[in-house]
Amino acid sequence: MIIVDEVDQVFGLSSTTEVEAILFNTHPQRQIGFFSATYPELMTRLTQRWMKERVEVAVRPDQRVVATVDNLYLVCEMRDKVETARKLIRLLEPSSALLFLNDTDQIANWQSKLSYAGFKVEALYGDADKQQRAGTLARFRDGRCQLLLATDIAARGLDIIGLPLVVNLDPPPDADYYVHRAGRTGRMGRTGTVVSIVAPQETFIMTKFEKQLGIRIHRKEMNRGALEDAAAGAAVNRPKYGARGRSASEGLTGAGRPSQDRPAQGGGKSAATQPGARMRGADAAQAASVGMPQRERADVRLGSAAASSPASAGKPRRD
């Protein structure tokens, strides 16, 4: 019997020739088993080519991501993804976590920044030889490193017993990739969590995956040491703006802050030129003039009127 696991990815990569060479050189009466979490059109062609009297066993689409896995996502600006990932891992404190990226070129950058933040991080590259891959996985399995960075190609067929957390640092390219990533946790009836960190312009991808996979991916926010529903967190934590008009919490969930919440810039009126401000300035000047000689009170009123009127700025005062 020949078993090919993750068959959609195996035949979708450059290893197709090697796998077919093995199948060609096996006994004609052998049994073949193709296994995959997804069933693309490629699977139909493969079964027709290599199997006789085939039997298909398929789960329902709503079972492609197991019910024991919590599917969540956080929203932040692209530049804040590293900091958001750092806060998330500090908050959840997983014994181990698998972090997915779409681009191999980004792995070294992420490894450097997460290591600087104090985490023990390893990287799994798709072109690593067998010995390097085995050494990296051994250190990850026995707890010598907490975080493992990988791409979809590098993590194919990866089976880490009891892996509690998967983090998508980049959103998966499509729903099938989401299934493969989520399948690294919650295995054999265990519980697990999948958290996707997305930028504001990437949130539609989560909605699309919900529809395609028939699951709920809950939007969360980190607040006071806990993951909260985004709606509840937004109601409790109203943005507090500093001198430059930036929210104090913008680094984590600044995505989606409406622009009208920020102080006016450019052509907008400043607080000093608002009608209410002029009235308050005049009232204050009048109150301050109580008890002054008549001449000084007149000077105060004239001075406050000149300060509140932009048109009078720079003109000489006639006493």
| 159 plus 217 within the same structural domain | yes
Q: Report the CATH number at residue 136.
A: 3.40.50.300
pLDDT at res. 59: 66
| 68 plus 11 within the same structural domain | no
Task: Name the residue among 258, 212, 21 with its Cα closest to residue 250.
Answer: 258
Residues 8, 38: Cα–Cα separation, whole Å? 7
| 37 plus 176 within the same structural domain | no
Inter-residue contact 124 to 98 (CB < 8 Å): no
Domain boundary among 238, 256, 274: 256
| 97 plus 27 within the same structural domain | no
| 48 plus 121 within the same structural domain | no
| 30 plus 69 within the same structural domain | no
Inter-residue contact 236 to 215 (CB < 8 Å): no
Residue 265 belongs to some domain of the structure: no
Residue 244 belongs to some domain of the structure: yes
| 80 plus 12 within the same structural domain | no
**Average pLDDT for 112-121:** 97
| 21 plus 80 within the same structural domain | no
Tens of pLDDT along 82-114? Answer: 999 999 999 999 999 999 999 999 999 999 999
| 38 plus 184 within the same structural domain | no
Residue 86 belongs to some domain of the structure: yes
| 28 plus 154 within the same structural domain | no
Residue 264 belongs to some domain of the structure: no
**Average pLDDT for 237-249:** 36
Measured CA angle at 55 (ends 66, 10), to 5 deg: 65
Inter-residue contact 164 to 93 (CB < 8 Å): no
Q: Containing domain of residue 100, as a range?
A: 62-256
Residue 210 belongs to some domain of the structure: yes
| 156 plus 34 within the same structural domain | no
Give percent above pLDDT 90 in the chain: 42
The total number of structural domains in the chain stands at: 2
**Average pLDDT for 112-133:** 93
| 221 plus 115 within the same structural domain | yes
